[in-house]
Structure 1
Amino acid sequence: MDSTPSEPRILTIGHSTHGWDRFRALLDGAGVTAVADVRTSPWSKHTPQFNKDALAERLRQAGMAYVFLGDALGGRPSGAHLFANGVADYEAMAAEPAFQAGLDRVRKGAEAHVVALMCAEQEPLDCHRCLLVSRRLRAGGLPVAHILPDGRIEAHEETERRLLVCEGLDHEDIFETPADRLDRAYRQRARKVAFAESGGPDAALGAVG
């Protein structure tokens, strides 16, 4: 695939427990030329092939670029003001200047690359790369899609339809606009899967991003 697409293209992927060969096949199948790592902590004792340095080198050998953006776009915030009742507050995180700068870097990178935002979770709806980062990129008018474990590429709009179903909000309501229902679905889902401080109300469900 041409490494300079006519319009920015951004995808996401979760490395899950994939072996390296399968992970690379997923990237190749989607035409990815650069990986933006949005994990707050880019290491894993269970999947060492995805540790930051090892991953960067393997991607380089495969002819793909790598950049770490977990400091700006990670799912584990460091400030107390970015938590609500012990759970990461995606709305507050999205308003941070560092987060906005991270989005700008993704936009810029997508002018020259097909970029895959990478985190750990297999399912987009279980990860901040979808519920936080992709949501804001789409709001800015950029096309976003998700590479699923079987290699299918799901447009973010389809992922949002699944989100509404998962959260029981896929119905018409004369008292709530479709946009308001979608916003509520995002909030509900984030409350379930966002990173939770130890001892927080949803600590057992907190995502690892």
Structure 2
Amino acid sequence: MSRGKFITLEGGEGVGKTTNLAFIKKYLQDHGIDVIVTREPGGTQLAEKIRQLLLDSSSESISESAELLLMFAARAQHIKHVIEPALSEGKWVLCDRFTDATYAYQGGGRNMSINTIEWLENLVQGTLRPDLTLLLDAPVEIGFGRVRTRGELDRFESERVDFFERVRQAYLRQTALYPARIKLINANQPLTDVQNSLVDVLRPLIK
């Protein structure tokens, strides 16, 4: 049995990840691919509890180092119990955010050491990397405006605009570093055009 493919969907707040995650899942299933959808932080019972800690804006202040370590603790569980078993069974894994988000949010947003993130990435993931990463990109004020209409904000959504500007620039740096893996999708266009762009990138992977 051939190993499955690992696809990650990335982007800042309000770029349409939820809608397009559902679209990608259906597109893959329509082409006969057995795909599981998961998310980070989260994906397992323990990792979801860590997610709650990370997103809770009412809890004690989380230090930047604790935030980074919690992200990778959740990721370690996720890889061991969900991602690797599924890939080994030949299933495709579609994940809402993965380590590129850590480079963007903790590396860019929090200005944390990229070398530290790389060290943790190698420790926790070994050789595991996504086969394809789809980065939905839109100007921060566009995504920020969408998030503001959702109601109560989580701990990350409550950050200031300059935080999200740093996140976006860090995502774009990742794209420049790994152009073969990370494909930039303009999310500031009609949904039909966004999804046509996604299909253009996914089609070669299916073939």
TM-score range, shorter chain: 0.3 to 0.5
**Bigger proportion of residues as helix:** 2
TM-score by length of 1: 0.37
